[in-house]
Amino acid sequence: MEKSLASTIARFTDLLMDAVCMVDADGRFVFVSAACERIFGYAPQEMIGMQMINLVAPADRERTLAAARSIMDGQPNSRFENRYVRKDGKIVHIMWSARWSEADQLRVAVARDVTATKQAEAMQYTLYAISEAAHASDNLPALFERIHGIIGAMLPAAGFAVALRGELDECLQFAYYVNANGSAAPHPVARWLGEEVSRSGQPVLLTPATMTLLPPALQATAGLAPVCWIGVPLATTHGRIGVLLLQGGEASGLSGYTDQEQELLLFVSNQVATAIHRQQLYTRLRFMAQHDELTQLPNRRLFHDRLQMALARAQRHQSELALLFIDLNKFKQINDDHGHACGDQLLREVAQRLKHCVRESDTVARLGGDEFVVIVEEVLVAADARQIVEKIHQVLAMPMALADGLSLTATASIGVAHYPEHGSDIAQLIRYADQAMYAAKQTLEHTG
């Protein structure tokens, strides 16, 4: 009778979409319903005798054992969630309802596969988080770092890279690259994968089973790093802007990434591309608002901001700075004799030469017309500024090759103001440098 009843119960449990499991006091499966094969990938006869905990994802084992002990102590649990590793290596999310049968010395549990629900929730969160990151990030590096963290929470990613197309030549440039080894240079496989995805516009999945996709020369180098990669295109309504790459590590499993994980990354890639494109536009607009269109130097507004910050640093550190006002001599005559296009070329060349006369930490700006200004921080003695003035005169005196074989030189009148000697605030320093520049120009006119 008992055997007949058990057989009847087994037939009915096999009709359930949820899986029914019984685990003994040693943690081994003694009964599983037919639904277990659909959920876990193992046939029922394979699961019988297996240790339950060996199927649990490593990260969830400790709390799963704690929950099992609590159930065996007489505390039923109706909504316990953990992750299992299927026979094919995929992760499945399970919601359990379980209790302990003291008479039978068994944990009886019903398992529901909630993977689809969890993935939908994760996707919704990921899309929302990427949108938030786009609004919260002030620049592209900050955005890339945020997106790395967001996607890394959804998919295993020992390495993460964003490669963007150049505006002119459309060549891929790695704008962001992080891997587990701390290498700053992208792995050769990453470069090849980026180019392949960019060329085809299609996602590419590299696993140990698809190693033959790599050129023979790269197959040897791939052995130096985990061979599991996903590359997906970054595309907006305006076209493809680059490639997003993930590099898996041990957490990805021996078989690497799955087609399902590739689909997840491809799904969020549109949101990522939109966020990057938005930040690129914002960066470009901000640059245009703060820089001179002709020379690409900081404009008057940004110059005032830079001078204010430089003066604050000098006051805080009790250091000195120099302010140079530069006005090209007889520039109007160049425009009149050779045309405004030639004058624009000369201004661009002057801007580049002025930048080479100072350090990267210093500021060269164009105030308008043929007027330039230079902020030199941490000046030790007045002779430092005089050396820069002499260097500017020297580089401007060197011939500048312009259009149609024309070669010109330039001279400039330069006025210098020192902080704190010539003023303690911005207005005083600008006024002194401006007056010194006009004095130099008048001297040149009287002697010329």
> So which residues are the catalytic ones?
370
Q: For residue 60, give the nearest of 80, 43, 78 by alpha carbon.
A: 80
Helix 340-355 to helix 382-397 angle (10° resolution) is 140
Q: For residue 147, give the nearest of 82, 222, 239, 242 by alpha carbon.
A: 242
CA of residue 366 relative to chain centroid, distance: 32
For residue 281, how many other CB atoms are within 10 A of its CB? Answer: 10
Annotate 45-107 with DSSP letters as a single string. Answer: HHHTT-BHHHHB-GGGHHHHHHHHHHHHTT--EEEEEEEEE-TTS-EEEEEEEEEEETTTTEE
334 CB burial (10 A radius; 0-12, 13-18, 19+):
buried
Within 159-256, strands assigned E span: 159-165, 172-178, 204-206, 229-236, 239-247
CA distances from 143 to 91, 280, 399, 426 (A): 29, 11, 44, 35
For residues 242 and 234, is the Cβ–Cβ distance under 8 A? yes
Q: For residue 62, give the nearest of 82, 92, 85 by alpha carbon.
A: 82
- C-alpha 301/C-alpha 304 separation (Å) is 5
Q: Give the DSSP H or E segment for 220.
A: helix 216-222
- C-alpha 101/C-alpha 108 separation (Å) is 7
The residue behind tokens 């930040």 is 279
- C-alpha 308/C-alpha 426 separation (Å) is 7
For residues 100-122, b (16+ Cβ closer than 10 Å) or e, as one string? Answer: beeeeebbbbbbbbebeebeeeb
Beta bridge partners of 327: 371, 413
CA of residue 99 relative to chain centroid, distance: 47
Q: For residue 407, give the nearest of 420, 397, 392, 419 by alpha carbon.
A: 397
Phi, psi of 310 (to 5 degrees): -65, -40
